[in-house]
Structure 1
Amino acid sequence: MPDGVLTQPDAMTLRLPTKGGEGDLRGLVRLLRQGWRWLLTGCFGGIALAVCALWLVAPAYTATMVIGPTARVGSAAMGARVPTLSGRDSAAMAEPGAGDESLSDFARYLELFGSGPVADQLARDPGVLRALFPDRWDAESQRWHPPAGLIPAVKRTLLALVGRQDWVEPDGERVARALRDRLMIDMLRSGPMRRITLRHSDRATALDLLGRVAAATDAHLRAEAARRSAAQIAHIKERLGAITVAEHRQALSDLLLDQERVAMMIGVELPFAADMIQPPGAASLPDWPNPAVVVPLAGMAGLMAACFCLSARHALRDGRAGRDA
């Protein structure tokens, strides 16, 4: 045989081999036509499972709010809290740190939204706890009880076998975990604004809970800023009583003036870290899960599963036929 001549020319091409004059694609189409009952069964089976799941899952309302960084300028702004220019460039001392190390109040707001110290503060409110864990609160006995169901019972049993306890009354850590499962924060148009959504089975509770989390986060950051400003003012006043050099006293007086301006602006009854561009709102009807999306996807998934089972059955049958031959 001359060099360069292939014994199997189809091996180096994209052409599919044929069997009995029929290509692979035609064979697959013929197989699907013959197994149309399998396809219908899989499709309607997926739809039936989706309908049953929708009946079992409690529908939920999605409360939505849009926030953005607090405006410093404009008619609706609270103004700059930290003086940018003062006689001795004291702004750097009022807000220390290099530019790449600074953290804005809005970034702190997003990080603490419903977590950490904010969750601990929310855990002290009985209304928030009952809204987050309605299935664990017994209104008649006014007591908390372990979660019901087979899976929680099995979990408690397994932990009891190793000497551990699963159930404790809701605390800050459990509140943070529950909010983390329910909250979603999305960026709007690649800008500074954020859309925050929270799902709950009751519409009024979803709106109230989202508003409480936002108010608690802003109040925590305001209190922390006021604490830091008060500490710096007290320290400057203490140093002023011990310094007699006129230049040093003038520098400290400028710092004291700046910090008193900061403390005054912190006390203004306006949003501290985040402006509420769009207050919490929700649709009048439950919007999760959406049957218009779940049912067609379930039917498509059932159809694909039926195709896979039909192909696997045909391949196994051909394999057994080949071994028998």
Structure 2
Amino acid sequence: MPLELLLRAVWRMRRGVALATLALWLAGGTLILAWPRRYLAEAVVAPAETTAIAVSTLLAPMPFPAGGLLDPRPTGNFAVYLGALRSAEAARMLAQETGLLAHLTAERASGPPGWLRRALGLRIEADLDDLQTWLEHNLAVTQSLVSITWSVTLAHPDRAAALDALQRLHAFAEAKVRADLAEVARRRIAALERRLAEERDLFLRQSLYDLLAQQQRAALLVAADEAVAARLVSAPAVEIRPSLPNRPLLLALLALAAPLAVLGAAACLALLRGAAALAPRGALAGPNWWLGPFEAPGRWDLSHPESAPQPAAASLPSGADRRPVRPQDADGPGRG
């Protein structure tokens, strides 16, 4: 169909397009306004390895390489800290110390999804897997584009619960890294002490004493330093008004997407009507209806041999032209 005819067909449907756009915008706006809003708790952290007094820098036998600061990926103790924020142990800690499991159970039992679960006999009580899934969906870690800081945000419908959960997650991840480092140092100290109790060689004992002093120093630093993985640039805080979802942005996007969707549907409808008008009568009811307007009116069906056209008989010359062909005539004119 030419573009001019398509535009004319859409213009003739302008009233229906306007009504459909208005209905779609009202339905989408009602859904956006009825969406439960959530508070956002945020904390800004920085890797402890980026400071000169970091535990990893003090414990390293060689100077900390400056080129590693240019790597955007998290490394060292900070990478372990980020991994611990979404771990199964963090979900277990939240289940034991907060009321998130009861909150998730209430959410699963409310609304149409809860009615559907009860009708189908599905499980409503939330478990640790549900809590970990919720944690993965609502906890966001974003790296700053202008500095080495990272933003850790957590969304929750309750303002106090959002702040409490974020504080507990930060403390848990930091304690996890600290406990791992302390456990490694303790095991190394115990192994070196057992070796020293058995070793009699003076030179080997001197080397073992140096290794033991390093591990004792590491245990002292881990126990004394305040932050071993992530330093708090901005303490966890929660906003006063809920900001998720962003209603003005969603309404603006809906105002742009609704007319485009309705115009696209109207154009498709006009194309379908034009194809039906151009198709021969009864073509859409035959065995090859999918050919549509590309089907010629004089088509035959090869599945029925009697419907195929018969070759026309060769017309014979009339009157005096009906004479047998002589052999010398077969050689062409001019030969006698």
TM-score between the two structures when normalised by the length of structure 1: 0.73
Shift of 1:154: 4.5
Q: Show the counterpart of 1:84.
A: 61
Q: Show the counterpart of 1:53.
A: 31
Work out whether residues 42 and 299 of structure 1, in 8 Å CA contact, stay in contact via their aligned partners in 2: no
Q: 1:134 aligns with which of 68, 81, 103?
A: 103
Q: 2:8 aligns with which of 30, 48, 54?
A: 30
Q: Secondary structure at the match of 2:43?
A: strand
Q: Is 2:182 the counterpart of 1:211?
A: no
Q: Alpha carbons of 1:297 and 1:214: their partners in 2 closer, same or farther (altered >3 Å)?
A: same
Work out whether residues 65 and 279 of structure 1, in 8 Å CA contact, stay in contact via their aligned partners in 2: yes
1:260-304 CA-to-partner distances (Å, cap 9, x unmatched) read 110001012511201112222333211111221111222322212
The CA distance in 1 between the partners of 2:202 and 2:118, in whole Å, is: 70
The CA distance in 2 between the partners of 1:304 and 1:192, in whole Å, is: 41
Work out whether residues 42 and 237 of structure 2, in 8 Å CA contact, stay in contact via their aligned partners in 1: yes
The CA distance in 1 between the partners of 2:11 and 2:81, in whole Å, is: 58
Q: Show the counterpart of 2:78.
A: 106
Amino acid corresponding to residue 136 of structure 1 in structure 2: T
Shift of 1:147: 3.3
Q: Show the counterpart of 1:187.
A: 143
Q: Alpha carbons of 1:133 and 1:186: their partners in 2 closer, same or farther (altered >3 Å)?
A: farther
The CA distance in 1 between the partners of 2:89 and 2:261, in whole Å, is: 47
Work out whether residues 33 and 247 of structure 2, in 8 Å CA contact, stay in contact via their aligned partners in 1: no
Q: Alpha carbons of 1:150 and 1:47: their partners in 2 closer, same or farther (altered >3 Å)?
A: closer
The CA distance in 2 between the partners of 1:236 and 1:271, in whole Å, is: 27
Q: Show the counterpart of 2:93.
A: 121
Work out whether residues 62 and 199 of structure 1, in 8 Å CA contact, stay in contact via their aligned partners in 2: yes
Shift of 1:188: 1.2
Shift of 1:204: 2.1
The CA distance in 1 between the partners of 2:126 and 2:279, in whole Å, is: 64
Q: Alpha carbons of 1:250 and 1:278: their partners in 2 closer, same or farther (altered >3 Å)?
A: same
Q: Secondary structure at the match of 1:118?
A: helix
The CA distance in 2 between the partners of 1:324 and 1:288, in whole Å, is: 55
Q: Alpha carbons of 1:30 and 1:116: their partners in 2 closer, same or farther (altered >3 Å)?
A: same
Q: Show the counterpart of 2:41.
A: 63
Superposed, 1:149-298 pairs within 5 Å as: 149-152=111-114, 154=116, 166=123, 170-171=127-128, 173-189=129-145, 192-298=148-254
Q: Alpha carbons of 1:83 and 1:219: their partners in 2 closer, same or farther (altered >3 Å)?
A: same
CA RMSD of aligned residues (A): 3.0
Shift of 1:45: 1.9
The CA distance in 1 between the partners of 2:75 and 2:192, in whole Å, is: 24
TM-score between the two structures when normalised by the length of structure 2: 0.71
Higher Cα Rg, which structure:
2
Work out whether residues 114 and 217 of structure 1, in 8 Å CA contact, stay in contact via their aligned partners in 2: no
Q: Alpha carbons of 1:184 and 1:83: their partners in 2 closer, same or farther (altered >3 Å)?
A: closer
Identity score, percent: 23
Unaligned runs of 5+ in 2: 65-73, 282-336
Q: Alpha carbons of 1:61 and 1:300: their partners in 2 closer, same or farther (altered >3 Å)?
A: same
Q: Secondary structure at the match of 1:108?
A: helix
Q: Secondary structure at the match of 1:317?
A: helix
The CA distance in 1 between the partners of 2:205 and 2:50, in whole Å, is: 31
Q: Alpha carbons of 1:167 and 1:245: their partners in 2 closer, same or farther (altered >3 Å)?
A: farther
Amino acid corresponding to residue 176 of structure 1 in structure 2: Q
Q: How many residues align?
A: 272
Superposed, 1:308-323 pairs within 5 Å as: 308-323=264-279
The CA distance in 1 between the partners of 2:257 and 2:108, in whole Å, is: 36
Q: Show the counterpart of 2:257.
A: 301
Q: Alpha carbons of 1:183 and 1:239: their partners in 2 closer, same or farther (altered >3 Å)?
A: same
Work out whether residues 59 and 286 of structure 1, in 8 Å CA contact, stay in contact via their aligned partners in 2: yes
Q: Secondary structure at the match of 2:216?
A: helix
Shift of 1:253: 0.4
The CA distance in 2 between the partners of 1:285 and 1:211, in whole Å, is: 19
Q: Alpha carbons of 1:116 and 1:191: their partners in 2 closer, same or farther (altered >3 Å)?
A: farther
The CA distance in 2 between the partners of 1:83 and 1:321, in whole Å, is: 81
Work out whether residues 207 and 282 of structure 1, in 8 Å CA contact, stay in contact via their aligned partners in 2: yes
| Greater per-residue helix proportion | 2
Instruction: Indicate the larger mover: 301-310 or 214-223.
Output: 301-310
The CA distance in 1 between the partners of 2:56 and 2:83, in whole Å, is: 23
Amino acid corresponding to residue 112 of structure 1 in structure 2: A
Q: Alpha carbons of 1:114 and 1:55: their partners in 2 closer, same or farther (altered >3 Å)?
A: same
Q: Secondary structure at the match of 2:59?
A: coil
Unaligned runs of 5+ in 1: 1-18, 92-101, 138-144
